[in-house]
Amino acid sequence: MNWHIFLTIWAWLLQITVWISLYILLLYVYYVIRFAIIKSKYPSELDANLVPLYTNTWSENKLDPYFRPSLITFLISYILYIVTQYFTPTLKFLKLDINDIKLDELLQKFFTSKPDIKLDCSCYHFKGSSYSYIDAQGVRQTSYNIYRENSHFDHFNVPYYSVRDVSGPFILNSNMNELNHKDFIQLEIPSEIIWADSISFADYEKYKSDIIEKNKDKDLYMEFTEKRTISAFNDNNYFIKLRDNTSKFISRFWYYLFTYLALAQYYKWYINYKCISQKFRIIKLISTRYNLLEKNEYEGMQPKIDLINNHIDFNINDTAFCFNEEIEEPSPEENQEAINKYRLKLPRFEKVNENGNSYFRNLNEQKYIKILNFSK
């Protein structure tokens, strides 16, 4: 089951439990107050057997059998309900600053940005120190402190010949009728930087092994890290206005208010009515030896924007770039060796639909090692 669906069902069950237990508590308090009023005004009309029951209940703190379970249920479910609401995707987006940038401008910024792959090595060793002290019993003790000391750093930006954005078309997940009452879009934009061909993957593995071999003997220990970034990305989640005049009732204040009133699930209905929730993946394809601008197989994945009232087609020269023109294409032998070794790493794309959102997904994830530790 999808995590978001489970979280929604769980939140609804807790909210219903809170209100049922609260109803029983209020009903109990109502009858106690009503009895106290009747007892004070009309003591002679009360049933003689009924008076000792209520008197003993309150004088000896023997609570009604329904009161204590309802109180415990209310407290536990209310606390769990509050905690659950603090981990919902809705609050994650409401915590973001409302972005004034237009949606088409943001997407255009992503489509035309260049990726960067950075390899880092840090060499280090451990040092220790000790000191003596006398504890509370008058016994001398020795304490040891061990810390890491870095001795050398090395960085390498992986060069590549060409890059092409193959994110495909962005189509707004809403029709014209729904768009009339939509004020915001909750946009989730994961990114992926992948190698286009076997020889590129072989070059990448060589760059990685070279920097590791170069630095692994410079100290007792070495840590290798790899970071893949796209220059335009500051975050993967964005909360963007679709119009100038937006609802004043969509904010963290209103979310917290309805949460503590145990009405957050109803408030989420309102947010879903006013907001579009959409996921779109930015994919950058990289080649170290080939010009991806000349590859026709990626024509169907050329970025474009369709916002119902605004349609933008991007020229390939806006979303694909060539660098390092001194790099030559591989020889047939070199290329065949790379194909035999890394052919299963080549990307295979398919268009998928997830919760009404369409985007491209790479079936062969090019997983890479984030951290390697070496010691002599």
Write out pLDDT tens, residues 186-207: 888 888 888 888 888 888 889 9
Asked if 55 and 200 sit in the same domain, the reply is: no
Domain count, the chain: 2
Whether residue 93 lies inside any domain: the answer is no
| Residue numbers of the domain that contains 51 | 3-87
Helices 252-260, 67-85: inter-axial angle, 10-degree rounding: 160
Task: Provide CB contacts within 8 A for 236, sequence distance 6+.
Answer: 188, 189, 190, 191
Asked if 23 and 48 sit in the same domain, the reply is: yes
Rounded Cα gap, residues 111 and 78, in angstroms: 45
Rounded Cα gap, residues 87 and 7, in angstroms: 9
Whether residue 327 lies inside any domain: the answer is yes
Asked if 65 and 143 sit in the same domain, the reply is: no
User: What is the chain's mean pLDDT, rounded?
Assistant: 79
Residue 305: per-residue pLDDT: 84
pLDDT in tens, 33-71: 777 776 676 665 555 445 444 444 443 344 467 677 888
Whether residue 289 lies inside any domain: the answer is yes
Asked if 48 and 110 sit in the same domain, the reply is: no
pLDDT in tens, 92-117: 888 877 767 788 888 888 888 889 99
Asked if 314 and 340 sit in the same domain, the reply is: yes
> pTM of the predicted model, to two decimals?
0.71
Whether residue 160 lies inside any domain: the answer is yes
Asked if 70 and 141 sit in the same domain, the reply is: no
Asked if 56 and 148 sit in the same domain, the reply is: no
Is pLDDT of 375 > 50?
no
Task: Provide CB contacts within 8 A for 137, sequence distance 6+.
Answer: none
